[in-house]
Amino acid sequence: MPKKWKGRLEDICSADNAEFAYKEARRTTKNKKGYWVRYYAKEEHRKQLCDRIMQGRYRPKPCRVFIFYEPNSKKTRVIEAPHFETKLVEHMITAIYWQAILRFLHPHCCASVVNRGIEYIRKLAKRWSRLPKKQKKYYVKGDIKKFFPSIDKQVALNVYQRHIGDTRVIGLIDLLMPHDVGQPLGNTLVQSTANLTLTAFDYECQKFTKHYMRYMDDFVLMFSNKRKAQKFITYIKPWVKENIKLEIKTEGSCAIQIWQWKKKALDIAGYITSYGGYQKIRRKTYLKIRNLLKLDSFSLHQAYSLVSLRGWVAHSSCSKLSDAVERKIQEKRLISIVSKGARKQCQELLKPTMIQ
């Protein structure tokens, strides 16, 4: 039996934890002057919420549903933005169990984890390029098919049940998962649930090679020969379907395949890493930066874009492009434009609402 994580429903509903969770929920909310943000700023209202949870009377409020279009992948995603009260409850849960969850996750699970973002995985790919030639001949790259819409609620709850001893907490988490199959994007607890669901997959992959990384549902494994890579693919496809009720893509551009690193550079998390360790940004990102560099005048949105993309280029091996971006930012004083724009937006949020 695995060791249970420390934390009971009383810890989740404590006044200190509710106050900490409120600050976190408010920090991640755009409209910081909204009614429910101001409502739960008062300790007495947070106490009432905790009492409802303790007595089993809490029911999540309905989410705000909207469709988001991703121009890069040309996909539409259904986003279910949780009510502030729901977000607060989720932060109360994660505040208690986050450290235990972090210890449980695979060390190379690199998404929605503090200090394990894109930069972490870029450095890891760079480190792989320094491996002896015998160890880095082939890599397998794959993707989970429709990951978030396919997460099985019972599989996720089973993971929580193995590690959380308080059945009342399990019941609360159950309430916060609205669908039997599929977890809503935009939900705070979903990121932890998604990583926990794939943790068994992570450790199963590590049985075949110690060189493994995952960025949300994209995974890469390094092998010394093609036979080992083929053996892994043959084994993992049915394992994923049987054990975590998901499916690995077998068709399309993201289908699971074996590549020879010398012939095909490793592409993950926005960076393309060559066999020798040279790292460049993806073509779409490069074209976007090039078009921004041609501009003589910048709107606030364009200034935001170039300033935010500066970090991507600076961490790559594209030194000339990085210098060109830096010169443009200095020449057009884009940092000043962005800071003034942010200040203006902040002032608009703080304006008192006009009562007619």
β-sheet bridge partners, residue 280: 272
304 and 338 Cβ atoms separated by less than 8 Å: yes
What is the bridge-based pairing of β-strands 218-223 and 212-215? antiparallel
Assess whether pLDDT exceeds 50 at residue 11.
yes
Higher-pLDDT residue of 111 and 153 is: 153
- pLDDT value, residue 345: 57
Tell me the average pLDDT of the chain.
88
Query: Distance (Å, rounded) from C-alpha 215 to C-alpha 195?
Result: 10
Is it the case that residue 151 has pLDDT exceeding 70? yes
Per the CB < 8 A criterion, the answer to whether 208 and 231 are in contact is yes
The answer to whether 8 touches 169, Cβ cutoff 8 Å, is yes
Tokens of 206: 């590590």
Phi/psi of residue 222, nearest 5 degrees: -105, 135
- Helix ranges (H only) for the chain are 9-12, 15-27, 35-39, 43-54, 84-104, 118-128, 147-150, 153-163, 167-175, 188-205, 226-243, 283-293, 300-314, 319-332, 334-350
Per-residue pLDDT tens for 201-242?
Answer: 999 999 999 999 999 889 999 999 999 999 999 999 999 999
Write out the H or E segment, with its range, that includes residue 78.
strand 75-81
Res 78: pLDDT? 76
The upper half-sphere exposure of residue 325, i.e. CA atoms within 13 Å in the direction of its Cβ, equals 28
Q: Which residues are registered as beta bridge partners of 68? A: 77
Give this prediction's pTM. 0.85
Q: Do the Cβ atoms of 103 and 96 come closer than 8 Å?
A: no
pLDDT over 80 (residue 33):
yes
Backbone phi, psi, residue 259, to 5°: -125, 145
What is the rounded average pLDDT of the residues 52-80?
81
